A and B are shown apart, each in its own frame.
Chain A
Amino acid sequence: MKVIALSRKEAQDILTNKIYLLVVFVQVFIILGAFGLAVVTSIATDPALLDSYGITSNLKVGVDSQINKSSMADYLQEQKFTIIYYNTTEEATKYLGKGLVAVVGSSPQGDITVLLDNSNVFYPVASQKINDAIGKYKQAKKLESAGLNQSTIDIIQKPVVLSETDINQDKKAQIALDSSYFVELMYGFIVPFILLLPFFMASNIVTDSIVGERERKTFEVLLMAPLTSSMVILGKTIPILSFSMLQSLAWILLLDFLKVPIFNPLILFLILLFVGLGFIGVGIIISMLVDSTKEANSAITLALVFATFILFVPLFINAPYFETIFNFIPTVLMVKISSTPIVENELLLYALPTILISAIIFFLSVRYFRHERAIRL
């Protein structure tokens, strides 16, 4: 009951602290911003999405009168570019980078010249599409010169046909953008980042709570109460952990609303619970080592920088030698669990080191927390 009373007081402190509430509010903007950025970059780099949103048709390619008469213009149109006709290549070149993403012209010797504006935001897609058009044009020219008929040329130009059959249609996952880039970016980085944000804040709250009490000289009163060290730690941990878990739950619901479905939330919560305990444990240990809020903030920032490095860098490193170790990193696990509808039991075994390490950190923080240390006696 004593622990509950302390927890209630801590929870009240958190919920009445305008700064914590402001940070929660800021997280909403971070989530919406990250989601928006992922959507925009996915559309900008995916030729199929650019086509479907009609952006390709806004990309203008200048061609001269010779190209206009050749099949090259048809192949460019097939790529959904808007073709602007000019009398000469020189005339078209004047507008390269000023409205035109590329110029396709011909030299007096009959060769084709392609000029591309590298600085255009859509350059990668434009370049890919123009290369496809050139490839087809060159191939067709070669086959025509060999005297082949159009039906054979068509087969040669498209020797493989891909058909798709959808399975589990009744359980179709509604995703904001059916793009490979979007899915990799959202599940591969943004989802674990968003779900861990509240726990970064948790380690800050716990140092604020312990060091703050010491600075306000209210810690002595708390420690004189008939509570053991473990009870004080529990009383402070429960509301902070619950506050963070509730935030993570809210972010899962927000992501679901944004059509980024998060699978296996219960397993995710189990991992988050232990990661959270680890973060809080680090916060408590730091609180025991420092003298003021200012020192605590510097130390916690440093600890969080290292945590970010350990948790997020493996997501961007392709190192086959470390693959087995990376599989144990909680963020890597979160990526796999949150994006897979049915998780294999084997994957859960990879969570054991996270659970063990976090439990050890928390246990150490409880052992290290002593009344005498807390009030510097």
Chain B
Amino acid sequence: MRFSIITKWELKETLKSKKFLTIFFLQISVLFLMIFIFNTFAANIESEKGISITPSLSGFASLDVDDQGYLFSKYINPDIIEVKNYSYNYSIERIKTGQTTGFVLVPEDSIDKIRNIGTINIQLYLDVSDPKRSVIKDEVTSTTKLMGDTISSSWVDSLAPQNVTQTINQQNTGESLPLQIITKAMIAILLFLPLFLFGNMMIDSVVGEKERKTGEILMAMPLSTTEIIMGKSMAVVGIIAIQVALWMTILLSTGFEIINPLIVYLLVFITAIPVIGITVVIAAYSKNYKEAGIGLTFGYVASVGILMIPALVYLSNKSISSNISPLTMVIRILSGENIPIWQFLIPIGFVAVMSAITYWISIKLYQRDDVVFGPRPGLIRLSLELIGLKKRRT
């Protein structure tokens, strides 16, 4: 248990640092920002308008209209399209000189056509040299459909006022994919996010010793490599545990529902162990901060992939193997599913195996003088040496 000395020392130094505390509370402010964004998304999904991830740019494309009876213009969505009323000749000239992307000509006799049940022919002139033509075409097509539906309804009401007895019942089964992602996956992702926010602390703790040349003193202390690595790692895992607990408390107090919070917390907490394990491997191999930073980016992208991909697979086809990711299990808990106890063993087993592998590698790396003090062997040679396929150079 001598590694606890290092853990205590690292924790004390970290918690004393004003910079760390600033970053720690900035992360909490990021959480509040995310809560706001998620609430906005969820509100949009539940509204009739649905969710749209397209940018909401006003005046993105412009359209000229000649519509004397205001039959067409009143249905245009003004959010993206800037509409101007101009005559045919002027608008065509504007299209040719690139001042507008399209022009809609509604025939003057349209009102008479509506009265006499006749087809209205609307003409769209489109500047095909402008890539925004599809935005205009799409808006004009949907506006035409809306206008047509309204005219049809009025004709139907006047020609066939009687009600048809046949009714149509519509039922929807299953939760929509965007809603599932927002309400279940996003909260789970938020809970797992702190795991990836303290990698720099670990890098600083290991690479910093190399850069400051204090690693030699540490190695000379009466502590084994295992104790040094475990001591440093557990300090970061401890900080993550505090941050996850804080985030969960904030989420619960802002109205988010977390079913079985203790089990969820434990699952997130144990996942922090291999994540930090990966960070230590990168830190143990890296020569400097810059190299460690790049390695960490790639390492974390891969870790996020390992957590996320099975979770997304689970959302679409509920396969048992997708439970390998603790994120999947948390999503299932948050969905209120009844999960058999044995299924918990799948992510726990995966986390245990990954932890054992990553800490074993990092301890082996830290035991080697050539890795810690240089000259460092190449990645392929080092891998072969670690698995015993090549003998270590002496």
Contacts and interface: CB of A to CB of B under 8 A. Distances in A.
A261 to B, nearest CB: 6
Interface in B146-205: 147-149, 151-152, 155-156, 159-160, 162, 164-177, 180, 200, 204
A164 interface: yes
Given A155-B117, A320-B58, A342-B98, A160 B290 contact: no
A336 B61 CA distance: 9
Contacts of A173: 128-131, 133
B118 interface: yes
Given A111-B166, A168-B127, A294-B289, A181 B176 contact: no
Interface string B110-136: 000010011111111111111111110
A341 B98 contact: yes
Nearest to B154: A159
A162 interface: yes
Interface string A120-159: 1101100000000011001101110110100010011111
A155 B291 CA distance: 70
A42 B313 CA distance: 21
A171 interface: yes
Contacts of B56: 315-318
B160 to A, nearest CB: 3
B258 interface: no
B93 to A, nearest CB: 10
A91 interface: no
A335 B60 contact: yes
Interface string B73-86: 00000011000000
B144 A143 contact: no
A302 B180 CA distance: 31
Contact of B19 (A110, A185, A295): A295
Contacts, number: 238
B122 A162 contact: yes
A96 B118 contact: no
A178 interface: yes
B126 A116 contact: no
Given A143-B156, A156-B159, A162 B119 contact: no
B173 A116 contact: yes
B291 A19 contact: yes
Contacts of A340: 98, 130, 132
A303 interface: no
A156 B156 contact: yes
Contacts of B155: 156, 159
Among B50, B139, B156, B169, residue most surrounded by chain A Cβ atoms (within 10 Å) = B156
A167 B134 contact: no
A260 B155 CA distance: 44
A151 to B, nearest CB: 11
Interface string A154-193: 0111111111111111011101001111111101110000
B307 interface: no
A116 B131 contact: no
B214 interface: no
B164 A145 contact: yes
B55 interface: yes
Contacts of A145: 160, 162, 164
A51 B176 CA distance: 22
Contacts of A344: 99
B131 A183 contact: yes
A107 B168 CA distance: 10
A160 B148 contact: yes
A112 interface: yes
B54 interface: yes
Contacts of B79: 318
A183 B132 contact: yes
A: contact size bracket: 35 or more
B281 interface: no
A12 interface: no
Question: In terms of DSSP, what is the predominant structure of the interface of chain B?
Answer: mixed
A188 B57 contact: yes
A340 B97 CA distance: 12
B223 interface: no
B129 A124 contact: no
A258 B180 CA distance: 33
A225 interface: no
Given A180-B134, A184-B54, A184-B80, A168 B129 contact: yes
B22 to A, nearest CB: 9
A117 B168 CA distance: 17
B171 A208 contact: no
A298 B173 contact: no
Contacts of A158: 119, 148
B160 A148 contact: yes
Contacts of B141: 162
Contacts of B5: none
B55 A175 contact: no
A165 B124 contact: yes
Given A159-B119, A184-B60, A166 B174 contact: no
B364 interface: no
Among A41, A121, A298, residue most surrounded by chain B Cβ atoms (within 10 Å) = A298
A376 B294 CA distance: 29
Nearest to A113: B169
Contacts of A323: 58
B34 interface: no
Contact of B126 (A167, A189, A318): A167
B54 A188 contact: yes
Contacts of B240: none
Contacts of B99: 342, 344
Contacts of B133: 173, 178
A285 B150 CA distance: 61
Contact of B160 (A142, A162, A172): A142
Contact of A160 (B60, B97, B117, B144): B144
A166 B136 CA distance: 12
Contacts of A298: 19, 23, 200
Contacts of A188: 54-55, 57, 60
B26 interface: yes
11 contacts: A19-B294, A110-B165, A117-B172, A118-B173, A123-B176, A134-B170, A142-B162, A162-B124, A168-B128, A183-B134, A294-B289
Given A97-B173, A164-B125, 13 more contacts: A19-B294, A97-B174, A111-B168, A115-B172, A115-B173, A160-B148, A160-B151, A162-B122, A167-B96, A183-B135, A184-B60, A187-B132, A336-B60
10 residue pairs, one from A and one from B, having the closest CB atoms = A342-B98, A146-B160, A188-B55, A180-B138, A119-B174, A171-B129, A318-B56, A160-B148, A168-B129, A184-B54
Interface of B: 19, 23, 26, 50, 53-58, 60, 79-80, 92, 95-99, 114, 117-135, 137-141, 144, 147-149, 151-152, 155-156, 159-160, 162, 164-177, 180, 200, 204, 208, 289-291, 293-294, 316
